[in-house]
Structure 1
Amino acid sequence: MGTMEQIQALKERMQQSIIGQEAVIDRLLIGLLANGNLLLEGLPGLAKTRAVKALAKNMECDYSRIQFTPDLLPADVTGTEMYFQSDTGGQFKFQPGPIFANIVLADEINRAPAKVQAALLEAMEERQVTVAGTTHKMAPLFMVLATQNPVEQEGTYPLPEAQMDRFLMHVRIEYPPLADEIEVIRLVRREEQAALMAQTEEGGAEAPRPPIAQDVVFDARREIAALHCAEAMETYMATIVQATRTPAEFGDTLAKWIEIGASPRASLALDRCARTHAWLAGRDYVDPEDVRAIAPDVLRHRLALSYEAQGTGVSADQVVAEVLAQVALP
């Protein structure tokens, strides 16, 4: 199979485990192929963790899950130097932490204090970890997928803006419709039946399919990097980001809503995600619909809304929609 066919096969496998969250699966694949980190936000029970596990299970990769809690320490994430005694003498050796994996699930990241959250910054941005003055490189395939609950705020530590900006996209997960929820019930029932059959009948379980190789991801990234993006599209993406910094030039409404605009990381993220979105759609060029499709996920966590916007219940998604309405199409 070609690169596109294998990525589509990965998507189909994930869809067999995740019902009614096709947009989330698309964003996970975009994050994987665009070489970025994602923040998944949704109420408990909406398959955030399951979606990440479905991605890792169907890929040839090392997967680790870090459950963030208030008593977690930075060394619990990055690893630490430990003293080992042997017959020839003692020495310190680095014991890697769970951050040294290909796909890292930072579950409920806002439940750990800022010092622990900051332990992820170097790994997310520079793909390395420095412990006791020694730098340790991450694997070529490395991705942090963090989750958080948007409602329960007691005992949580909101992520600072500097760390939010390092997430390629902020993906929101909503409740599934009724028909999909019925399918979820049936899916979990089938999984329970299959697990019971495997326990009682040796060899009765279906042989697992071989995982998708990491080289497929690297091949896809090379094709995406070579994708054509016209100068008009580059100007369109930069203008969208510029509109968040100079909102008064794009209407009184935006001027009232935006306090602080997006950084240049937003422009870079728009470019990477739009090219990936176009490649997944089977095109060799970027068009405005690619940008408009991923703009809310790229921008919603990078905007600081004004007091007036927050007081009147205006959401970041409404602000992004207004930005897209005011910026002229190329």
Structure 2
Amino acid sequence: MALPEQSSEGTDEGGFGLDMTSRRRREQLAGIGFALPYLIIAGGFLFGPLLFGLFMSFHNWDPVFPAQSEFIGFENYRVLLNDPQFWQALRNTVYFVVLTVPTIVVLSLLLALGVNREVKGQWLLRMIFFSPYVLTVAVIGLLWSDLFSETGLIPYYLPVDTGNWLISTDLAMPAIVIATVWWSLAFNFVVLLAARQNVSDRLYEAAKLDGASSWRMMRDITIPQMKNPLIFVVITTFVSSFQVFGQPFIMTQGGPSFSTTTVVLYLYNTAFSTGDFGYAAAVGYVLFMILIVVSATNFYVLGSDTS
């Protein structure tokens, strides 16, 4: 009795699958090989200083003769937790963050939605809103320092006599906030404008047919469709605001009476004014941990239901 002839179809399909798997594996290895030099260099520049800073924070660091640095364990961190100037700098930073982040996010969203409408001179509005971002922090600091000075335009046109904002303990930080919002708005504006333009117009057309109001379309279409870019904007704005340095350094040098000294400015002064690099490294690592907690919290609160 003749045996049935065995089909080679399964073998061919299996061979084709193995061939595709090996090809994909070769492509992955090639990609890793091309990326590896960059990853090594970037990792060295990123993780090298990160680990070295951690090492410094456990020492009474001598920048001239590093080999003579004294290991003191967690002493820098113990001193930091009982340092009233550090806590004041942290309060100043949180105050700055509370004022800047909601303002920047809301204004950049409103500007993006407004410019996205079909209006005349749309390209000019985009250029005007983005133009401050091309300026450096030094230019921004000097420009707004002049505007807030006693003979500047802002005190001159206000109905009440405020004098120089930058020498007032009550007005110095709001002055830095205004300068920062004006400067930082542009980047978030561009991100959110691009996000809004990626939302399909068919969704709005269908909503209009159902009689939805503008506020309803904003709540049910615009915000959900732009959720991921909004999360990105909120987190990056939080992180950059917590690391503010250039504006208070140029505009107020941390004064008056320590009222605008932020954590990064305090770190800088500790390292380069007093020469206590080990303690400054400890300040930097505490700020690093705060940023991790803040970023993780923001992502959990804002993006917990993001698909």
TM-score by length of 1: 0.22
The structure having more radius of gyration, on CA atoms, is 2
TM-score by length of 2: 0.23
More strand by share: 1
Q: Higher helix share goes to which structure? A: 2
Q: Which has the higher contact order (CA 8 A, sep 6+)?
A: 2
